[in-house]
Structure 1
Amino acid sequence: MSGVVRPRATQSPCNGVCRMDDATGLCVGCGRTLSEIANWGSMKDAERAGIRDMLPERMARLRREKSGSPETAR
């Protein structure tokens, strides 16, 4: 062992609920776009981390749209 600690690759946020929302273009399970899902394996870890950082707001947007809330997503 060299003692070098390598950071773990950013894990996929997929939870197996793979269905795209027509209105937003986001997966209702993980909040990613189809392009992000398709390219996840070839993305750099920093790109993946950036997408993961956006997922909480995207999932909130999906919940708002599903509930018919008048507060629309950006």
Structure 2
Amino acid sequence: MDNSGPVRSPCVSICALDENDICVGCQRSADEIARWSLMTDAERRAVMKLVAEREEKVAL
């Protein structure tokens, strides 16, 4: 992952929360989605790591 530029939203316009309040489209929590525009790029990178971990679990 490139750490030099701004971190773009992982939104794929499939906006629906599962029973754990995780979006089935982008794998962010409802709180992460709500706070995204206020986060620093470092915070966004941390969220993107969580997103990758969640995507791995879904793929299993």
Paired amino acid for 2:49: D
- Give the count of matched residue pairs: 57
1:36 aligns with 2:32: yes
Q: Which has the higher contact order (CA 8 A, sep 6+)?
A: 2
Give the share of equivalent positions with the same residue, in percent: 37
* Bigger radius of gyration among the two: 1
- Structure 1 segments of 4+ aligned residues over 3 angstroms from their partners: none
- Relative to the length of structure 2, the TM-score reads 0.82
* Structural RMSD (CA): 1.4
Q: Structure 2: which 5+ runs fail to align?
A: none
- Relative to the length of structure 1, the TM-score reads 0.68
Q: Distance in 1 between matches of 2:59 and 2:17?
A: 14
